[in-house]
Structure 1
Amino acid sequence: MIIRLADCPSQPWKNGLGRTREIAVQPSVDGGDGFLWRVSVAEVDSAAPFSAFPGIDRQIVLLDGAGFTMKLDDGRVHALTTPFVPFAFAGEAKVDVALAGGPTRDFNLMVRRAQARGEVLPWHEPATRRPDPATVLVFCARGSIDTAGGRLHVGDAWRPPPRAVDPLTLCDGALALVVRVKPRAS
């Protein structure tokens, strides 16, 4: 299934201090926090703190803009200024933000820590690849990508069907953010 970012409505952050577009969530929930995993694209246009998500592991990836510096309550300071490089942190962390320039957009993965673990992998070499069974979403961050469901352009995402065997083709200059989620071992 192909998801067009333009079809994902902008909605307020949980804390009301920013905007996000939810691309996919599993299981589907209406505005609740009962998800196993969630993928979104956030618009950061002010130095607002991030929303808290207790029990959630997060990964964030700068898509465009000058980025920002994240000051976490565990003492870490991270400059999210290099596009397409994932950064992981705990959802319950208090995160203050200082913009490096103007507004930015970032890609976000949230996974319920007690039930699963997730990762965002940048794929950027022109090639044909097969997503593995843990792949739940492929996001086109740059260029175009051919999938079994059709062509992705910047901002589009593809949810592979269960046990997908069809390959993806990254066209010249394409960059995919591949989201993998695996259940935690009991």
Structure 2
Amino acid sequence: MSIVRFDALKAVPWKNGLGITREIVVEPPGATMDDFLWRVSIADVDTASPFSVFAGIDRTIVLLEGDGFTMTLDGEHQHALTTACEPFAFAGEARVDVRLAGGATRDFNLMVRRGHASGRIDVVRGPVTMDGSNIALLHVARGEATIDGEACAQGDTAIAPRSVTLRDNATALLIRIA
């Protein structure tokens, strides 16, 4: 188990250069945007910029902070990502335009290469203690947690946790990869 602290994440430009992202982990280690198997990151959205296109990638996005935004996929389907901690899955090759609901937002992203792996995000709210043996990553979205005996704050991510205790009013994103 290892913990990635939010404060240690480096902000880098999006693939399309119109925003910033903080990569938490990529598999295999050192993979690029063109050859990762799966990738987890946190992005800041502060303008109505289109998302980067990732052909062959299944994406799941979760609003962490802010008022959110409305996504228009391929000019047709709209989805309001305005409720925190409610995952929304979509195809990475979709053309996604964004209309902010208010100010800047922060979201959590899981990207998985279709046909090579699958992934999902489950949301768990505290107080709860659980076995983490079938969890690839656990992201503390709200509040505090103790993971394998180590204190974790909002924004921290545990890779391959074994035991997890979420405190009162804490919310975690459980990422499962197959």
TM over 0.5: yes
Q: In the TM superposition, what are the counterparts of 1:14-93 in structure 2 within 5 Å? A: 14-29=15-30, 31-73=32-74, 75-93=76-94
Asked if 1:169 is matched to 2:165, the reply is yes
Match of 2:111 in 1: 110
**Cα shift at 1:28:** 1.2
Residue range with higher mean Cα deviation, 117-126 or 30-39: 30-39
Match of 1:140 in 2: 140
Cα pair 2:133 2:163 within 8 Å, conserved: no
Match of 1:154 in 2: 154
Question: Structure 1 stretches (4+) deviating beyond 3 angstroms?
Answer: none
Match of 1:181 in 2: 177
Q: Residues 125-155 of structure 1, C-alpha deviation per residue, up to 9 Å, x if partnerless?
A: 311111243x211000111111116111011
Cα pair 1:74 1:93 within 8 Å, conserved: no
**Cα shift at 1:74:** 6.6
The one-letter code of the counterpart of 2:168 is D
Q: Helix, strand or coil: the match of 2:83?
A: coil
Structure 2 gaps, min length 5: none
TM-score, structure 1 as length reference: 0.91
Match of 1:97 in 2: 98
Cα pair 2:61 2:110 within 8 Å, conserved: yes
TM-score, structure 2 as length reference: 0.95
Q: Helix, strand or coil: the match of 1:123?
A: strand
Structure 1 gaps, min length 5: none
Percent identity (aligned)? 53
Quote the RMSD (CA, aligned, Å): 1.3
